[in-house]
Structure 1
């Protein structure tokens, strides 16, 4: 007979091959009786004890796997009997328990482990007391020596700082392999990465480019011209605030002739009075300019922005040009003004 031990069962659904192997053998100098060789099976599990309390008997059996080659009868026993004790104390204060069950498989596939077996309470004590019989036994078990070293790892390190100073970023942590790689296969991850979130990054105000300077608002004398820009992105999360949206500067095309400034003002007042009296609902009367006759101002265009500073335009187109017109005074005109300058 030869034997081998089970080191590990990798797939519980597939039965492992046998661990014992038999073959007939004949030793020299044996008598005829001893020459009879029977091959017997392993002993079958013990039967339950014959009593439920006190000392009884139990038995187990085996069978002949192969009879002797010479045709003789097997003399080896096929049944074995032994005493068994169940519930040593059979007094009214004792409880009846079953026999011990079979030992569980060892908890380790190699090296030192633990195994356990259980039994059940069949009947509690007749006097109503608590059953004091043990129903669980645990003992050590030794499996074949382990030949590989498990994957030994250090604890995880602390998480690193976030990869950014504001907004969304990443952070990492690592651990190291303590056992040499060649002594065991280690598939555990050695680095972990996770997202991290810091306060939102500040966003500065963004503004458009300045427009061209508008025409001077006076045809003679001192006036002013403007240029504008709009807010394309409001500041967020403590970013730099927006600055002015309108620039104004002085302008002077030419000196006004004597009395021209007063006459211009009188003409403007007259035009306003005529406008109020008009029953056709005209927007604005025609404005006279030296050397040409102009059409009335068009209506202001819609503001380019609802808030934060926009611009509006209106046009005055030449209707009739006289021979005495000067190039600088008789041409189409455009006015620009700021609108909706309140902050958003």
Structure 2
């Protein structure tokens, strides 16, 4: 946050303690926290923390505005954080060796497809999973708006003294029988701003119902620890961190919360105030008959390694099996990694990386790799540095030849006598790509001869002589050509039928049928005719 009033520039930096190592579960230790004050000139919050150990990954917030549009203060902000890459190191895992990025890249959010060995890698390319959550919660207030200036500390103390004097006299009627007052609660303000604390008592009996009994709760003003002159030996404690989840998912369990010491007493004495509280919690009082009841988790055992990385475990026991006689299917042992101080070993001595190998393919997508060797003897200590790296490589797309289907069967001859032709087709299944072989022919024709047509020679000569004249007359009339058959009269050709296929090569047919056959005709070729042609030969 920056304040540029009165010509000055003030920078407030909040440094949070990083979780180390980064993969350690959050329930191993309390989440890091910090407290800070805001006012109408300083209301933007920014912070940055490293994910350790990592190459240069971090999480944080930038200029989070804690002031609302109506000049009030936000009550609570919960923000899930994804990891960012600072662009200074080229490592892809938490334990990758230092590899300085030259030239330095711009800071950017990490993605799930950055590198196959990245802990955030997702082969399906989904959104990256958040690695942290920050909770900003308002714990004390002074004034209702951003532009109200804090009171003078002397005025606050004077108000407190006046309110304390008003509490001295007890006007409780004798007809009201109460229990003793409980201890005062913690002050609602953890700073030197005015707050309140509360105590309670229970009404045991009311001897005279006509006389009203006072309230069973009592409030008084207070300030945070260490703010009064008579608080020189008082510990300054932080606010309580939120309650942990209940230890049982059904029935009565336990939950806890923590706080930490912000400042020890000025007189040098020790703080005796508790830093942890536990209380009972109930989840689903009417548990089902198949519910297990287990104890709380025991303490973590010592790490299995005296140095470096190891494992540790903790246990819990089944207190009561389900009432339906079934066995409990709950986890009773937990294991997790634990880190101890680094072992005193000689660091790995490695050769430089070799050049990348040739791509495993001559076209398309393949893989390539590079290697390095261990120079230091293996007996001096374990070396976990990677000695081989593999990555994808892409070359120009491979040529793809044209692919066609098998030939169809030959069609029937398009003539009922004399010389005609038959056809067959095939379909293009795949067009050529990237310089592949072109497609071959998709239609073939061949001649066919069913039988010789019989005609009288004089009629044939007459037909040939009159054919040009008939053709000219038909063209003038716009009539389709109707072949002449000796001894019969034919109807005109029908329209072509619909193509038998929408694509890939089909067949169309048309027909000519006998309209009338003369009784004097002895020609056996006077019968219906059919023609065939290819259609829709384009690929599907």
TM-score scaled to structure 1, two decimals?
Answer: 0.43
Higher relative contact order (CA 8 A, sep 6+): 1
